[in-house]
Amino acid sequence: MSETLDFPEIDAPVRTEIAAAAANALDLSKINLTDVALAQFGKWREKSAEARKTLAGVQHDLSTQTKIDDAKSLRHRLINTPLAEARKVSKALKSKLNTVSAEVGAELTAIESDYADVALLITPQIEARELQLAEEKAERDRLAAERAAGFQLKIDAIRACAGRCQGISSERINNGIAHVEAIAVDAESFAEFAEEAANVKRITLAAMLNLRDLAKAREDEAARLEAQRAENARIAAEQAKVAEELAEQKRALDAQAAALAAQQKAIDDAKAEEAAKLLRQQEAEAAERAEEEAMRVRDEEARAKREAALSAPQPAPQPVAEFVGSEESDASCKTCNDHGLVGSAAQMDAVDCPDCAPAPVAAPVVRAIHPAAAALRNEAPTLTLGAMKDRLGFALTADFLADLGFEATPVKAARLYREGQFGDICAALVQHIESVRAEVALAA
């Protein structure tokens, strides 16, 4: 079988045949390309038979890995190498000789099948031995792992002693320290793990000693606190007894103080009642004086206005219509008569009388009003709330005056009243104050 598959050499026999057949007019039917292609596989049957003969009935020594490798090498030389060469030739031939690819493929299949049969003479032995060696190695590894795990369990048991010292008494920790110190960590007990065991033992003892010291300090502190607690309890009991005695004394004093306070309250209530009665009497007298003074001032202002109006030159009197209600309402309305509202400036500026308003009006009565009274009514509003505050000494609001019956004339932001209304406003204020005083007196 060609080593390099140099196709010019493969084709050489063909060319030779063609050259030899040139004299015969190049009779191509005499050239069999399949035979030429299959000839490139060489004498593989003889080689396969030789390999079969070499391997048949032989029980190979596979006791060591080296001998296994030798067996593999023999298999490679007798089977794998010629098989690889056949595949290489097949691939090259199929790409060069498409017309004979079926025959080449069939030949390769036959070669593979034949060598597969030959391989059965050695491969099962190799695979069985390799499986046996793998199982033996796995068993050795398992035993080694179990052995190491056993030593690790013993080492972990030493290490866990420190963890079991958490939250226990110093006396129990001392017992644990004695137990750990007695553990032998030599090569006889731990084999190759002796050094690790010794290190774990040293670290564990150090941790246990530290935990013992902490536990002892904690126990000493707890004993001190318990003694302090007992002392504090004794002192607290004594203090509670003293506090109870003081509380009893305080309750007695509080009872005495409450009795005295009740007596004093009765006296204070009597004095307060007497003072309130005297104050109400003084307020009533002051209100009466204020009413008399207000009426006097109002009468004087009204008289001054009439005199001023009468003293001024006047045109001939003209009748001015004034609606004063029906004759029946003038005669029967005691409210209007009592307050002097009929024909007065106050009636002209006030709201309807509550006694007269509901009554039906049969016909308006026209009276003749003196020009001076008409002039007072028709005068321009110039009196401001600020001016009334300066005169009275306290402030009034437009809403309050509206409640009393005096509507303001708005001029921009100001609220203005007629000067002739001031006397009526004062009279209405006096009446309002007297009404409030009477209500308070009745309530008291």
Per-residue model confidence as pLDDT tens for the chain (444 residues): 544 444 444 444 444 454 444 445 445 566 677 888 888 888 999 999 999 999 999 998 999 999 999 999 999 999 999 999 999 999 888 888 777 667 778 888 999 899 999 989 999 999 999 999 999 999 999 999 998 998 899 899 999 998 889 889 999 999 999 999 999 888 888 888 889 999 999 999 999 999 999 999 999 999 999 999 999 999 999 999 899 999 999 999 999 899 989 989 889 888 888 888 888 888 887 887 887 788 788 878 877 887 787 776 655 544 444 434 433 434 445 545 554 444 444 444 444 455 554 444 444 433 444 444 555 566 789 999 999 999 999 999 999 999 999 999 998 888 899 998 999 999 999 999 999 999 898 887
Q: Which strands sit side by side in the sheet containing 414-417, from one edge to the other?
A: 383-384, 414-417, 409-411
How many Cβ atoms are within 10 Å of 83's Cβ, its own excluded? 21
pLDDT digits (tens, 9 = 90+) for 208-227: 999 999 999 999 999 999 99
Alpha-carbon span 300 to 336, nearest angstrom: 21
Tokens of 333: 């309305």
Instruction: Note every long-range contact of 438-443, with CB atoms under 8 Å and residues 24 or more positions apart, other chains counting.
Output: 441/280, 441/283, 441/284
How many Cβ atoms are within 10 Å of 80's Cβ, its own excluded? 14
The DSSP secondary structure of 355-406, one letter per residue, reads: TTTTSPP-SPPP----HHHHHHHTSPP-EEHHHHHHHHSS---HHHHHHHT-
Q: How far is CA 302 from CA 204, 275, 345, 438, in A?
A: 119, 40, 10, 27
- List the chain domain ranges: 7-121, 321-362
The residues near 427 (Cβ < 8 Å, ≥ 6 apart) are: 294, 295, 298, 346
